[in-house]
Structure formats: structure tokens, C-alpha cells
Chains A and B, each alone.
Chain A
Amino acid sequence: MSIGIFIIVSLIKTVLALFVLLTAVAYTVWLERKVVGHMQNRWGPTRVGPFGLLQPLADGVKFLFKEDLTPPHVYKPLYIAAPMIAVAFALTSIAVIPIGNWVTIGSLRIPLQITDVNIGLLIILGVTSLGVYGVALAGWSSNSKYSLLGGLRASAQMISYEVSLGLSLVGVLMLAGSFSLRDIVDAQAGTFWGFIPRWNIFYGGQFFAFFIYLMAAYAETNRIPFDLPEAETELVAGYHTEYSSMKFAMFFMAEYANMITVAAVASLLFLGGWHGPVFGPPLIRALLPVFWFVLRIFVFLFIYIWVRGTLPRFRYDQLMTFGWKFLLPLAIANLVITGLVVAIRS
């Protein structure tokens, strides 16, 4: 494969991925409004299109045409840069996420993934950890106490939970013996005793790891019950209080893109990725894994929304206590036990 074709293929994949991702983001918002609405005995969006399906489009148009207010007291360079940073890092991580097996088009054998690197998971972690800059800088540059408090909370919270998040993944990494997401998924092919899928979540103590990951991921994405940085009741809107129009939309997109990334990573690491029953004609055979993968992401997102509709918000000290005194020791214990299991097995 020459470098030219490589670049062309990569470009196509990137554009495709971005399009799909942004659409998914938009419809995740719709899904959330709809599901939460039903949970709260409301209808959710219904006016625009059937079942309100065109609501995301309408929202987008509205965001675009709203007046872009820049408050006079902000530190302008960073005020403008912050949402860009947030959304850029949120979208970047999709680059290493595989959504399925190889696809052969003519003589080209193309992986369903923008790029396959053998430190894929590390890149996701790195990019996610950089995402905090967007929130923190937004909070600081807005020069408003609500924003600053939100930004401070966000950075402290994300640094704290990143530790547990990272540690919860190490068990899976030890089982797979690789950082490459594709290798990790491949390691989960097959079944235990013929009927239980060989997913990491069923493997030893990885259920706890999954739980830790779930909690840490909620905190990382600033979602309920850990949405302290944007706690409406106390901080107006937290770090994006001073933002409006498209800049606000960027934070919104970043948050939901992060949710999808997190869901994708959870599926890949714990839920067997794209593995599932494959049947039918070749085209179906090629697309079914993608469907299984998307289904998992959907389920994960549904849980996200479900939790949002159910649980109250933590207090900040409870959040920190939970992270440092419960999740972290649990993650370390899981790490030790998994290490022992791996050592005994080999």
C-alpha cells in the first residue's frame, strides 16, 4: 500500500468517523432527552420530526445562529481556545478505536479503524487526560467565580479519577498482554464452556474492574452522579457558565463525544468488542460485528442516561472520598489479584 493510497484511505476513514461520531453525539443528546423524559413521565422532544428525531438538527441550527456573546471581563485567547481544546481532544480519541474487523475492498485490506497503533489504549488515556485542559481553562479564563469553581472542581476530579480509571484497565491489559485495542478484543474471542462469551467482564475479578471503570468514567465525563463541575443548582452551569452559542455547543459536543469514547472503550475492554454471532451473506457478515459493537455502545449510553435519570448528585467531599478511599484501593486490590491469577496461570 503506497503512502498516497494510505493517506487517501485514512482521510476517507477520518471524515467518515467524524461524521458518524458527530451524528451519534447529536442523537445521544436526543436519546438522553427522550429517555429522561420518559423516566420523568414526560414525552421529551416531539415537535420536530417524527418522535422529535429532527430535534438535534434544529438544536444545531439554533446554536449556529445564536449571538456569540463574549463577556468583557474574560481572558480572551484562552476563552476562545478552551472549547476548541475540549472538543478537539474529545474527537481525537476516536482515531484509535476499532469498530470491527478487517474489510477487504478489491486488493485493499482495510482495518475498520482510523489507525491501529500498538499503544492504542495509552493514546486514548493520554488524549482523555489532555481533555481536562479545555474544562479547566474555560473555567479560569471566564473570570467568573462560578466558572472558576467549576474549572477547579473539574481538574481536581479528573486528575483524581484518572488514577482509578487507569488502574482498573491494567487488569485487562495483563490478561491481554497488549496495549493494542485490536489485540485486546481478539483476546476475548470464543466462549467459556461453550456458552458464556469469553468477555473480560466475566473473567476473574474483572467485573470489579468494570465497576471501577464505570464509576471513574462517569466522573471523567462529568456526568451525574459526578457532575459537580457543572452543578446547575450551585454553580449556574459550572465552567461553561459564560459561554454561549457555538462555543457552548462545543463543550456539549465534547461531553457527549467523551461519553461515546468511554462507552466504546468499555465495550472493547470488557464486553468483547465486536464479537457476537455472525451469519448471513458476506455483506451482512462484514457489517454484523459493527452492529454488535454499536449495540454495546448504545447499551452503555443507555445506562449513562438511566443513571442520570435516577441518582442524585454527590457532594464534593463525598466525591473525593469515594475516589481516593474506595475506588483506588479497590482498583489496587483488583490489580494485585489479577496479577496473581496471571502469574499462577502462566
Chain B
Amino acid sequence: MTPNLHLWLIPVLPLLGAAINGLVGKKFSRQAVVSVALLFSGAAFALVLSVAARFSTLSTPHLEFLATWIRAGSFQADFAFYLDQLSLIMLLVVTGVGFLIHIYSVGYMWEEAGFYRFFAYLNLFMFFMLTLVLSSNYLLMFVGWEGVGLASYLLIGFWFTKDSAASAGKKAFIVNRVGDFGFLIALFLLIKHFGSLNFETVFQGVSPMSPETGGAGLLTAIGLLLMVGAAGKSAQIPLYVWLPDAMEGPTPVSALIHAATMVTAGVYMVARSHVIFDRAPSALTVVAIIGTLTALFAATIGIAQTDIKKVLAYSTISQLGYMFMACGVAAYSAGVFHLMTHAFFKGLLFLAAGSVIHAVGGEQDMRRMGGLKEHIPWTFWTMTAATFAIAGFPPFAGFFSKDEILFRAAQVSLVYWGIGVFTAFLTSFYMFRLWFMTFFGTYRGTEPAGEGHGGHDAHGHDEHGHGGIHESPKVMLAPLVVLAVLSLVGGWVGSARFEKFLSPVFNAAVVTPAAEAAEHGSEMLFTGISVFAAALGLYLAWLFYYRRPELPQQIASGLGGLYEAVVHKYYVDELYANLFVKPLIAGSSLILWHGIDRDVIDATLDNSAHGANEVSDSFRHMQSGNLRSYAGWVAAGAAVVIAYMIWMGTR
């Protein structure tokens, strides 16, 4: 007899908050909106904590059936929840970080119009994310998957009156559709071959299969299609282009959705489906390669970005690449570990960046910042913790998880490891670049900052009547501090213990202790190298952006085209525009619009309408309104019917 944990309450609580705020929040005061939003998200967090506290007493996985949703033939999908170590970690991350970001948002969004709307969306996102994480089948997961996409769309386009925000939202939505397409086909394949979408049923069906080596097997196909979906949601090559644009949304949104939680859904999904991937090595290799390439690729772009949030966005993509790399080398627990620590420090980075932006009155361009260290010490110190964490300095959280990933990658292939280390170096470099450019040197923005938004007033903080650089309110700083502590200590749990905790989920991927012991010596070496890479990045960043700020310009001109390419994100957007969008538009307008829509469909409709018009014009005279005419028609019709019936009857 398993205890009833009321898991369904966890997603439903934020849904209630969303419903209350969304439906009637318009009439609420800001305080009321805040209390509703915080109450429900906090309650969800508390519930998760209570579940976590009782977790050790549970037999995992813990299944909770709520209701039957779809039943068609032998296929059945339920509203059922699935709790195991993996989903518990995800729950803790989602509700915990989510709750902190809720608190942060109170301060950050206080002046915004549509305050209630923001919190309704935020709670809605929590609901869908928790559904995604808790679902016991792929279909319910897909609902959450689509739902977080929706919430993401709504929040990116939160300032929907701004054209760039609206189109960024659309872009995110459309790019995600490509990924969802793959996900859906994977689901169809699963239904076709296993007759179910329940995790347990599917995995039981998969387990007896032997690993495939070929590239076209069923599991490989499913795995690749799932990876397409994951790539869409988690912004991997080639579907990462939406994430940088998603920074048009409010910064807390970037922190919550586009750094800490939603974008990791792909990683969660791959980890959750590890049974399939374990038996599809080719798909796994693809995952690893995509992850590795994305990590490197995004890191190089990140170097040249000047928008503070764009840097963080590319950094996110890069870190997600790490996670996929981990999954690709079957080190799922390492991936999830990195997911967790990343949620802490990347959430913190974004929040701190938001605090910075807040401080300088909406400015996002790092070139107009600098020297903020004295003005906003709290933000500076928390940001420092996060930067060191992401750069991989011990004893910060990022070090442990990244190191574990690199070590596990090295066991599979040194190429992964090499690129990973190089990426780590790049990461360290651009993050410290950001750090130095923002907090050190002299302030390069216009004074007072309260009016110097330039073209980048993504936040509409115009109502900030107080001039000058100022520290954020306490309600924003508190989450920063909490996350900073977590960034510091989050990794101390140690990857080994973490892996042990997750081992019931990833039992297939446990590395034998003997092998681990044998590799212990080399692990120290790898760790040393990666720390060195991080330190090198720190040094170079110090050199370029603190010591000799004129140096980057020289190097950039020296590199010429390459630098241009990096600044322009390797022209990927342009490439996509030329490769897909323009042919699509051309094809749509020339063939579909002019050729088919106008000349075939419209013409058919128009002509049939004209024909109908002419025919009905002649029939119109039947509808004279004259009673006797109608009677005449009825009589004539009755004669026809009678004749027909008699003819049928006598035949």
C-alpha cells in the first residue's frame, strides 16, 4: 500500500493561481496578485518538499492514478503521475527555483502594466512544467511540453506591443513546432509498436530488445525523433535560434523558463527515455555530437555578444549542450546533475543580470556598463558566485557537474572531452568578460542612467522615477542570495552520491566501481586541466577587458571575417532565412498563394459563388413569400414523392 501523496495537487496549485490571477486578477491590487501567485507557487514548493521528506519511505517509482483521459481501443492514456528520483529532482528545481523567481519578479515587475497577467502566465508555466515532469506517460508529458511552449510564447511576447517581442515569441513557437513534429512522430511510433505511451509499458517493451547498431532501426528512429523534439525545446543545433531572441521577454522569464527549467525539459525527456537511448547507440552518438557541437558553437558566439542577456542566452545554449553531451555518453545522472546546478547558477546569473539592468535603468548593452561593483554590491557578489560557478572553479557547483560530464565524456571519446574543455575555457572567458565589463572599470553609460535607455529599453522601466544607479529592492536580492548560496554549495553533494541517488532510474548506466577506481588517477588529471582552462579564461578576460581594454578591438580587426561571423552568430539566422524562410515565402507566395490559393481555390470558390449567385437568382423567385406559391411547390413536390414511392412499391 503506497501512501497517497496527492501528487496531482502539485501542478494543480499553480493552475489555480493562474486561473485566479488570469480570470479576476485584473481587478486585484498588486498586493493581492502577488499574494495569490506566491501562495500557490509556494504551496506547490512546500508540497514538493513534503514529498521529498517522505521520499525515502516510498517505493519508487511511485505511481498515482487520477483519472482515465483517453481510451481508444487498446490504447489508453491516463491522468496519472509518476514520481521517481529523477522527477523529484526536477520537481525540486522547478518549484524551488520557480518560487524564488516568483519572489524576484515581485520586485522586478512591480511597475509593469499587466502585472497580474505576468503572474498568471508564470503560474501557468509552473503548472505545465510540473505536469511535464510528473506525467506518467508521453502523452501527458506532451501536454506539459506544449503547455510550457505556450507559456513561453506568452511570456516572451509579454510586451506584445513591441514588435520585436511579438515576433520573438512567434519565432520561439514556430521553431519549437519543428521539434514537436519530431516528438509527435516518435510518439506515433511508440503507439504503433508498443500500443501505449506509458513509461512503464514502453520501457518494459523496450528492455528485452538488444542494442541496435544500425542507423535505421526502430529505437534509433524513435531516439532520433525524440532528440529532434529535445533539440527544439532545449535549443540545440539546429533549432537553437529561438532562444537568444527569447530574451525579449522579461528577465525573470528568461531566468525561469529560458535558463533554469523549460529548456532543460529536453534533457529531462532524453534522460527519462534513457531506456530507449541505451539501446540505440547511434542515436546516442548523435545526441552527444549535437550536444558537443552546440556547446562549442554557442560558446564562440557568446564571446562576441555585447548584450548582457544575449551572452547569458548563448551561455545557456552552451551549457545545455554540455547536458546533452552527458546524455550522449550515457552519463545521464551527470547531465541531470549539471541540469540542477545549472538551474541554480544560470537562474542566478539571469536574475543578477536583471538586477544589473534594473540598476542601470533598462540598459542591456555591456559596453555602456562598467564599474558597477561599488554601486550594487549585493548583485555584484552574487553574480560573482554565479560566474565562478559557471566557469567551473571549485568549490562552486558548476565545477562538480561540469567536471563529471567532461570526465565521463573523456571515457567515451577524447574528442568530446577536448571540445568540452575548450568550451569550458570559452565559457570562462566570456563569462568573466561579462563580469569585468559590467562591474569593473569605469561607468560608460550616460548619466543619469535612469534616462539613458537608448534603443534597448526592453523593460519599459521608464517609470523608474529615481535616477542614478541603485541597488535592487530586498525582495529581488533575497532570491539572489539564496541562489548564490545554492550555486556555491549545490555541487558539494558530489556527483557520486548524486549518481547513487539516481541509480534506480539510470540503473543501466551505472559504471562499474572497478572501472571508476582505475580511472581515478586520470580523473584528477582531467579535473586539473579543466580548472586550468577556466583559469586561463579568467586571465584572458582580465587581460582583455580590465587590463588592456583596447586589445579586443585589435584582435577583432585582426581576425577580420571570423570575428564578424561570430558577432553575427555565424550568420545562422541569415542562413536559415535564406535556406528555409525565403524559399518558403517565395514558394508560399508564388505557388501556394498565387498559383493554388488564388487561381485554384479562390477561383473555384469565386466561380462557384458566382454560379450559385446566378442559380439562386433564378431560384430566388421561388421564395416569393406568397403562401399559395409555396403550397403549389409543396403539391408538386408531393406528387413527385408519391409517384416515386408508388414506383418503388410496385417495382
Q: Do A and B contact each other directly (Cβ–Cβ < 8 Å)?
A: no
A interface vs B, CB < 8 Å?
none
B interface vs A, CB < 8 Å?
none
